[in-house]
A = this chain, B = another copy of it.
Amino acid sequence: MDSRYTQIKQLPLFQGVSQDKILALIEKLPFHFLKFRSGERIVDLQDACTHIQFIVSGKVRLVTPWQNLRVTLEQILSAPNMLAPDFLFGREIHYPFIAYAEGTCGIVQLRKSDYIQVINSDKIFLFNILNHLSMNSQRATTSILSITRGTIAERLAMCVQALTSSTSQEIKLKFKQRDLCALLGVTRSTLIRTLDKLSAQGILTYSANEINILDSRSLKSIIHA
Contact = CB atoms under 8 A, between A and B. Distances in A.
Interface in A73-89: 86-89
A120 interface: yes
B123 A123 contact: no
B163 A69 contact: no
Given A150-B182, A185-B185, 11 more contacts: A66-B145, A66-B147, A68-B146, A88-B130, A90-B130, A90-B131, A137-B140, A140-B143, A141-B162, A141-B163, A148-B182
B89 A148 contact: no
Contact of A136 (B116, B137, B152): B137
Interface string A94-138: 001000000000000000000010011001001101111111111
B130 A144 contact: no
30 contacts: A66-B146, A67-B146, A67-B148, A86-B133, A86-B137, A87-B138, A88-B130, A89-B133, A89-B134, A90-B130, A90-B131, A90-B137, A96-B142, A96-B145, A116-B126, A116-B127, A116-B130, A120-B120, A133-B137, A137-B140, A140-B143, A140-B162, A141-B162, A145-B163, A149-B185, A150-B181, A150-B183, A150-B186, A151-B185, A185-B185
Q: Is the interface of A mostly helix, strand, loop or mixed?
A: helix
A222 interface: no
